[in-house]
Amino acid sequence: MSGLGRARTAALVTAAGLFVAVGVVLLTTTPWDPLPGAVPGGAVPPDPARDFSPAELARSAAFDAAINPPAYAGLAAGLAVALALGLTPLGARFIGWCTARVPRRTPRLVVAVIAMTTLLWAAGLPFGVWRENALRRYGLSVQTWPGWAVDELKSLGLSWAVWTVAVLLLFALARRFPRYWWTGAAAGGFALVVAISFVYPLVVEPVFNRFSPLPAGPLRSDLLAMADRDGVPVENVLVADASRRTTSLNAYVSGFGSTRRIVVYDTLLESSPARIKSIVAHELGHAKRNDVLYGTLVGALGTSGAVCLLFLALTSPRLRRRAGLRDGDGAPDEREAAADPRSVALLLAAVVVLTQLGGPVQNLVSRRIEARADAHALDLTRDPVTFVSMQHELSVRNLSDLRPDSLEYVLWFSHPGAPERIAMARDWARLHRIPEPPSLRR
């Protein structure tokens, strides 16, 4: 076996070990049963018709029919473009054309990253416009087109920054250690995921929203008191100016340690204090369980395994030939081949495929964690009636899909559907011998 062959075998074994570790962690720590214990009379089945009127169900279905075509088309187009660029000579030729007049390796890599990420962003742009039009028709988006374009350019700029840093580090390792760069890159990928998670609330969130402290008053005092009663240290309660782009409702707990704060959309302040406390209690459940940190560490471990698979893709003679790249297996220019800027196209194609494969697993685990946070909110507020009415309001205002098909549920749902969440609240009421929330159908 050649030197590269031994390195590829080691990378494959390491990837398998890391993914087995991720699988064991997820199987043993995911809250598969967020409401342990037998529900008296049996579990309440999710039933959209019990709490949503025919008009609400019809509007939800119409919005779903409007938003699904751009979602599916955008997903298919993104995959098609990434694979066409990465698994044919098109990507290498495009990068070669973009970098033909760039004299040095590092600037060529930067240009290659910017060119490829911009091309992929541009491929998805028509579907983003299509989606934005649907949001506008149904009143969920109130953003101007110039404002929407600015947000898109901000997202593109962040992609440039993150991908440039990651690719420069990866290709520096590849040039220095052409057969074993995956070891350092796996550790670096782990560290980068953790670092991004920590700096996100401080660096990325302010790029898209302005935050101001919630004025002193009963609501602020009640939210801070609830967090204190829950044993979750919170430094501040902030209001995000979400109303300049959307009418949807949301809140979250952001940051770690001294940076942790409760953030509520200004649109949510229109709701009653009891409903606001119900949704914030859900977010405190995430903070109390350190769900963001847990997700970060598991995601970082999965990223390390994915880096090992990236090494296998980037050093595969068959894939390199398909991508119009040199083989590099034992060749005198092996270091040059390992750090060839034209292989950025193959790298991004592999990342896109791995991301899509990992998405359904992430959603499955996320739905169970969100259900546990719902149970925490019910335990903290002991108010299932308000919880159910809040879920109803969220669903109606956000036009949530109340009857998703199986594919939608697997691909897009990181939270349980509203009928599932409402049914669980009724299960919680039965378990605690509290009157079950009545039907909300008008």
Contact, 146 vs 208, CB < 8 A?
no
Residue 286 counted as an annotated binding residue: yes
Residue 370 counted as an annotated binding residue: yes
Question: Which residues make beta-bridge pairs with 265?
Answer: 240
Residue 282 counted as an annotated binding residue: yes
Active site residue 334: no
Torsion, Cα 265 268 270 271, to 10 degrees, reads -160
CA atoms of 305 and 435, how far apart (whole Å): 48
Active site residue 283: yes
Q: Given the residues 205, 283, 334, 340, select the one marked as catalytic.
A: 283
Q: Given the residues 51, 56, 334, 374, select the one marked as catalytic.
A: 374
Strand positions, DSSP E, 82-136: none
Question: Could you give the residue numbers annotated as active site?
Answer: 283, 374
Binding site residue list for Zn(2+): 282, 286, 370
Binding site residue list: 282, 286, 370
